[in-house]
Amino acid sequence: MFIGFDYGTSNCSVAMMKEGKPTLLPLEGNDVYIPSTLCAPTRESVSEHLFRHLNIKPSSEVGEQLLRKSIAFNREEDIELVPEDILFGQSALSLYLRDPRDVYYVKSPKSFLGASGLHEIQISFFEDLVCAMMANIKHQAEKSTQEAITDTVIGKPINFNGLGGDASNRQAESILIRAAKRAGFKNIMFEFEPVAAGLEYESTLTKDQTVLIVDIGGGTTDCSLIQMGPSYQGKTDRSNTLLAHSGQRVGGNDLDIYLAFKQLMPLFGMTGLTSSGIKLPLKQFWDPIAINNVEAQKDFYSRQNLAVLNQLRRDAKEPEKITRLIEVYNETLGYSIVRRAEEAKIALSDSPEYIANIALLSETLELTIERDQMVESIESPKSKMIELVNDAVKQGGIKPDAIFMTGGSARSPILCQAIEQQLPNVPIVKGNDFGSVTAGLARWGEVCFK
């Protein structure tokens, strides 16, 4: 049996074909979407969990080395790992928000898979993270199907990392393949996520069109200009119909991060001055919320950085704000701050203002954010997304008949309006914001595995 598998930056989902139509399968309770999150007692618990409780062995000598180190660390810390210690999805997020200091929490590991400069041990660790998540999703899907799932089509962005190019894409795909095989999949295919979304849209067409697919996910924005319609359905080779591709690692998460940086981080001292009138370094306020940047997170939460933060507090004109920043360090609150920004972003799509609340140990910070302030805050990532739209159309050399928008951030009226301004008089069609890619991957699986 095969499934379409959208291993997303924000959410994951899978679909099977049933009576000629894609059907999404429940993965967490009755929910067909599971947040791309994992929570464990320690960072080292993930590798041990795979081996001890799922009988999933490392795929390489480096992986075996990581497993040995992980087991040794947990023994030293007197951690006896049980299967229930590893949580996924909303359960993982809920535990983290209740007690962020005493757990290891990771969101959106897909964002890191194409990162440049990763050491072999880091690559092996990300493979373990992805494998644990995939194994959980496969198990949950099989509970619904009551059948063993052996084959899958996995979606991939046009580019996993804008800086690394083809090397980053190869690295990310290799991690996904190894993780999927260890999770129990036998035959694995890939399809571009915007192309998959387009296949689902194509099933509704009664005549051929040139369609611009704009897939704005949590971690990437991908655009594909595709010829589609009844003449092309069911064909195994669609290479001649793909007129242009563009993609970059900029997505909904970046909108959240920029909104948090511009609007929330001043509460923690950003834009402040030292007592001698010098501006405080921006890096200390960017790194804690750059949740999709491995090095930034490592730098901020390093032991050495605590000394830097304490010196910053001594130098600052408003030391009480830097005290809040030190609490972010001590309580690992970066994810929580970005979460508040995400809530504000969603609310401001429909409301002129939003009151954001950030709970600290000694106080609750409250800030009113206006819609215009949000628009200004996200200008940089929004501009990059619009550049990708223009690039795909320019490459293809033809104006599309329609624009099909999908992905979680495709709901944003701000982004839709910006695209309308670039391509006036081209109708925008909305798909299932989270499910179009998954459904299209299942449809492509029917072609690949028939």
For 307-339, write each residue's pLDDT tens digit: 999 999 999 999 999 999 999 999 889 999 999
Per-residue confidence (pLDDT) for residue 108, from 0 to 100: 84
Average pLDDT over residues 92-97: 86
Half-sphere exposure of 174 (CA within 13 A, CB side): 13
pLDDT surpasses 90 at 23: yes
Per-residue confidence (pLDDT) for residue 163, from 0 to 100: 59
Identify which has the larger pLDDT, 58 or 100: 58
Per-residue confidence (pLDDT) for residue 430, from 0 to 100: 84
Same fold yes or no, 2-185 and 207-250+380-430: yes
Euclidean distance between CA atoms 356 and 367, whole angstroms: 5
Identify which has the larger pLDDT, 340 or 100: 340
pLDDT surpasses 70 at 19: yes
Per-domain residue ranges of the chain: 2-185, 207-250+380-430, 253-378
Among the residue ranges 92-106, 213-227, 265-279, the one predicted with the least confidence is 92-106
Per-residue confidence (pLDDT) for residue 362, from 0 to 100: 86
Beta bridge partners of 5: 14, 154
For 264-281, write each residue's pLDDT tens digit: 999 999 999 999 999 999
Residues ≥6 apart with Cβ < 8 Å to 99: none
For 372-383, write each residue's pLDDT tens digit: 999 999 999 999
Average pLDDT over residues 141-169: 88
Tokens standing for 450?
């028939």
pLDDT surpasses 90 at 132: yes
For 133-144, write each residue's pLDDT tens digit: 999 999 999 999
Contact of 263 with 341, CB cutoff 8 Å = yes
Euclidean distance between CA atoms 123 and 307, whole angstroms: 30
Give the DSSP H/E element, type plus range, for residue 158. Answer: none
Per-residue confidence (pLDDT) for residue 139, from 0 to 100: 97
Q: What percent of the chain has pLDDT over 90?
A: 76
CA angle 173, 179, 180 (to 5 degrees): 90
Contact of 168 with 159, CB cutoff 8 Å = yes
- Cα separations in angstroms, 430 against 162, 197, 216: 26, 11, 12
Euclidean distance between CA atoms 154 and 159, whole angstroms: 14
Q: What percent of the chain has pLDDT over 70?
A: 99
Average pLDDT over residues 231-249: 85
Which of the four pLDDT bands, split at 50, 70 and 90, describes residue 431? confident
Per-residue confidence (pLDDT) for residue 159, from 0 to 100: 85
Closest CA to 171 of 96, 117, 132: 117
Q: Which residue intervals of 316-432 are DSSP H helices?
A: 319-331, 334-347, 371-377, 379-396, 413-422
Average pLDDT over residues 169-197: 95
pTM above 0.85, yes or no: no
Among the CATH numbers 3.40.50.10190, 3.30.420.40, 1.10.3720.10, 3.30.460.80, which is that of 2-185? 3.30.420.40
Which of the four pLDDT bands, split at 50, 70 and 90, describes residue 41? very high
Distance of CA 173 to the CA centre of its chain: 15
For residue 11, give the 3-state DSSP assignment.
Answer: strand
Per-residue confidence (pLDDT) for residue 219, from 0 to 100: 86
> Which DSSP state fits 357?
E
Per-residue confidence (pLDDT) for residue 304, from 0 to 100: 95
Query: One-letter amino acid identity for 141?
Result: A
Residues ≥6 apart with Cβ < 8 Å to 229: 202, 205, 206, 207, 208, 209
Per-residue confidence (pLDDT) for residue 411, from 0 to 100: 83
pLDDT surpasses 90 at 427: yes
User: What sign results for the dihedral spanned by CA atoms 247, 126, 406, 291?
Assistant: negative
Give the DSSP H/E element, type plus range, for residue 242. Answer: strand 242-248
Which of the four pLDDT bands, split at 50, 70 and 90, describes residue 162? low
For domain 207-250+380-430, the question of CATH label 2.80.10.50 is answered with no
Contact of 50 with 132, CB cutoff 8 Å = yes
